[in-house]
Chains A and B, each alone.
Chain A
Amino acid sequence: MSVIYILLAVSIIVAIVFFAVFVFAVKSGQYDDSYTPSVRMLFEDELVKTKNTNTK
């Protein structure tokens, strides 16, 4: 039953990893603007299309 130590350690480490990722995300400003990325995400396609018409 000592395996519980390993299990607990793993579960806490996983939790801490997620927490660290969250802190990193906040710190890098991902929570400051929650609207623009949703629009920007859809742009890549259009940009490629313009490039294509350029090369044609």
Chain B
Amino acid sequence: MTGNNCFHCGDDCGKSPIEFQNKSFCCNGCKTVFEIFSENDLTCYYDLQNSPGAIPKEILSKYDFLSQENIIDKLTEFRSETIEIATLYIPHIHCSSCIWILENLNKLNPNISASQVNFGKKTVRVTYKSQTTDLKSVVTLLSQIGYEPYISLDDFKSSEKLINRSLIYKLGVAGFGFGNIMFLSFPEYFEVNEFWLEQYKHLFRWLMFALSLPVVFYSAQDYFISAYKGLRAKILNIDVPIALGISVLFIRSSIEIAFDFGSGFFDSLAGLVFFLLVGKYFQQKTYDFLSFERDYKSYFPIAVTKINKEGDEQSIQVYDIKKGDRILIRNEELIPMDGILINGRAKIDYSFVTGESQTVTKQSGAKLFAGGKQTTGVIELEALKSVEQSYLTQLWSNDIFNKNKEDGFTNITNSISKHFTIAILTIAFIATGYWLLHDSSKAINVFTAVLIIACPCAIALSAPFTFGNLLRIFGKFKFYIKNASVIEQLAQIDTIIFDKTGTITSNKTSTAEYNGKMLTDEESVVLTNSLRGSNHPLSRTLYDILKTNAIVCLDEFEEYIGQGITAKHKDTNLKIGSANFVGNTEKTTLLNTTVHISSSNIYKGKFTFYNSYRKGVSKLFNQLKQYYDLVILSGDNEGERENLRKLLPSKTKLIFNQKPKDKLEYIKYHQNEGAKVLMIGDGLNDAGALAQSDVGLVISEDVNVFSPACDGILDASKFKELYTYIRASKAAIKIIKWSFVLSFIYNIIGLYFAVTGQLAPVVAAILMPLSSISIVVFTTVATTILGNKLK
């Protein structure tokens, strides 16, 4: 291991690492965790993975609410006199060491009887003895060792999550039926009039019939339901011909064996259902650790501290907050409702809401909006509204959040299915009519044979396998998509709308520009040193940009909260801060954030902060401009207009000062005009726009951190590749169209047998799986080649 990195968390230890047992640690927190582990013989934690830990956070009374009965009730999945079981979500779970330590929790607290990690979902299920320990101490223990559980309002509602396993059961039943029916039908493929076969064929056939019952009535039921729904809505979706094919197969086969006409098509029937379900299962790729359905509830805490009239602190549920309640918000806590600041110094980080990382300082009497995070000290608020009626949360009462995006969308398979179904029915009727005139005994045979062989198994499989595979490939490139239909919609986009802050700008860095009189060397040394001593976020940013000067000891240093800094070194007197504080009387029209500087009461100049844009923004926009309408829809003021004008292609529309609701309305308006909108945003303020758009993507610096409800999450480092991904989606549509052509060829061959009245069960049993499998192979190979072309 490298010498200067923390043994526990791997962070740089800086100049003065804490040495303990010949290992260096970046802070006392990390050292404490190491001590806890080494005392309990759990240092194996560090063998599995280098520096796997996280710095434990201050806890204090943060988890007091966990001793409340009704909250424990909601959070635990099982409660009895002696035992409680709770599943906790821990975002830090990321490696095998994490699994190991969390499953050995009983060594740290013997009252924990079992703990099991689900790595994909990043949860740990803890079973503990409720007589000797409680939820609060379990959570506190986890936080102490750096695995702080994330408990939000979301957990409060969904105390019971049902896992839907029906698809895997259906697949199992279909596979079971398919395998056994194949066995039983095998003899009749070859020897038709053999003596013993004649003797026992009825037994074999009725067994096949019995095995096909669960396949048709259980495994295939979704197809019947969906076909029925489609017909009722007057849509010929792909499930209509499938359901038709399945029922004709089943009815004809049953009649055949009942009247001893032949052996039926039970093998093809079970195979068809099995392949279709495999396709469905393959498409159902989900990213357990990501959630695409989040609303404000995932961000908000369950409980806050309320101050009673008597001055006692009491922790209450967020939903119980009433207008006029006095609420205490500690450092690092989220403000759950709109309120007026009564006491304390508020420094609010609204990055959850706006994506803007710069904190806002407020004085008492100011109005604070829900969703902000207090970043220093304790403040007292008086609630103005209840949680659900707050400015931010109100957005979620909009109808758009109750709509299912897929409902109004006709996917490629269904759009082709309409023509397909009509064509097949026409062929079936013409062929039947022909045979009625020539050999009426064959007519019904031909009619059913056409419907059987034309059952669009291959067509139904093309899209699931293509999109399913592409979904996995995108996942590897850190582009996580909610489901397959998003890829299809992405290919049809013609308008792209970007949020500004946090989306095309990067949260981490900003740049500053100095205008004014040159600072002397002396002055710049004092400047960097006074910035170094200040904790104000602007000072920190500026210090990070400058930080080249030598370190000197300042003679005098004082920080005036909300105003600025004064610093003195030898005979240099510096004032750094707001225009008023420094004594700049010039009126500025500039809207950007500025820091002014004066030396010995003579005004020197100012640093103006600009957003720093993500790498490749300009290139990406230039790639996109030929094909798409581009819009920047920002909640910020117009300060960056000139900068953006220079950076982006001239036809890009720039719209500023947009409230969350305005963004939603803007998109709605353009959709009504026929535009297919891709919205790219990041914060909760974009939530409405993301839900309204055809495809809503979220840019995220760290995909494990929460992002609002959306259709896909794109890692910030891959932002510049956006165009490549859209192109890949378009290529996927092309692949599907080619596989449609392929399956039509199979259908024509099959139809030849069917129309001429010579469809033997063995032909169907060969042709149907062959077409399905070759489609699966074709789409998989084609998408993999497509994936290799991506960077």
Contacts and interface: CB of A to CB of B under 8 A. Distances in A.
B172 A19 contact: yes
B99 interface: yes
B176 A19 contact: yes
Interface in B38-58: 41-42, 44, 47-48
A39 B169 contact: no
B180 interface: yes
A15 B41 contact: no
Interface string A24-56: 001101011111100110110011011001100
Contact of A40 (B99, B120, B173, B199): B99
Main secondary structure, interface of A, reads: helix
A5 B173 CA distance: 24
A50 B42 contact: yes
A4 interface: yes
A46 B176 CA distance: 40
Contacts of A49: 44
Interface in B347-366: none
A3 to B, nearest CB: 11
B176 A15 contact: yes
A8 B99 contact: no
A33 B121 contact: yes
A26 B172 contact: yes
A12 B196 contact: no
B763 interface: no
A42 B44 CA distance: 13
B118 A15 contact: no
Could you say which interface size class chain A belongs to? 20 to 34
A26 B163 CA distance: 11
A37 B363 CA distance: 53
Contact of B100 (A22, A31, A43): A43
B169 A23 contact: yes
A16 to B, nearest CB: 8
B777 interface: no
Given A32-B118, A36-B99, A47 B176 contact: no
Contacts of A50: 41-42, 44
Contacts of A15: 176, 179-180
A46 to B, nearest CB: 5
B169 A26 contact: yes
B168 interface: yes
A47 B743 CA distance: 55
Contacts, number: 69
Contact of B120 (A12, A19, A29, A35): A35
A46 B48 CA distance: 9
B519 interface: no
Contact of B96 (A5, A31, A34, A39): A39
B476 interface: no
Given A32-B118, A36-B118, A26 B100 contact: no
A25 B639 CA distance: 60
B468 to A, nearest CB: 16
A33 B289 CA distance: 12
B486 interface: no
Q: Which of A18, A22, A31, A36 has most chain B Cβ within 10 Å?
A: A36
Contacts of B117: 36, 40
Nearest to B117: A36
A1 to B, nearest CB: 6
A32 B119 contact: no
B103 A54 contact: no
Main secondary structure, interface of B, reads: helix
A3 B180 CA distance: 19
B200 interface: yes
Contacts of B121: 33
A50 B101 CA distance: 13
Contacts of A22: 172, 176
A33 to B, nearest CB: 5
Interface string B193-224: 00010011001000100000000000000000
A30 to B, nearest CB: 10
Contacts of B331: none
B183 interface: yes
Contacts of B42: 50
Nearest to B196: A1
Contacts of B173: 19
Given A15-B180, A43-B103, A36 B120 contact: yes
B104 interface: yes
A31 B99 CA distance: 18
A35 B200 CA distance: 47
Contacts of A19: 172-173, 176
B774 to A, nearest CB: 28
B789 interface: no
B234 interface: no
Given A15-B176, A35-B120, A36-B117, A54 B41 contact: yes
A55 B653 CA distance: 72
Contact of B119 (A1, A23, A39, A54): A39
Interface of B: 41-42, 44, 47-48, 96, 99-100, 103-104, 117-121, 163, 165, 168-169, 172-173, 176, 179-180, 183, 196, 199-200, 203, 207
Given A19-B172, A50-B42, A50-B44, 9 more contacts: A1-B196, A4-B200, A12-B207, A23-B169, A32-B165, A39-B119, A40-B99, A40-B103, A49-B44
21 contacts: A1-B196, A1-B199, A11-B183, A12-B180, A12-B207, A15-B176, A15-B179, A23-B169, A26-B169, A32-B165, A34-B120, A35-B120, A36-B120, A39-B96, A39-B99, A39-B119, A40-B99, A42-B96, A43-B96, A50-B41, A53-B41
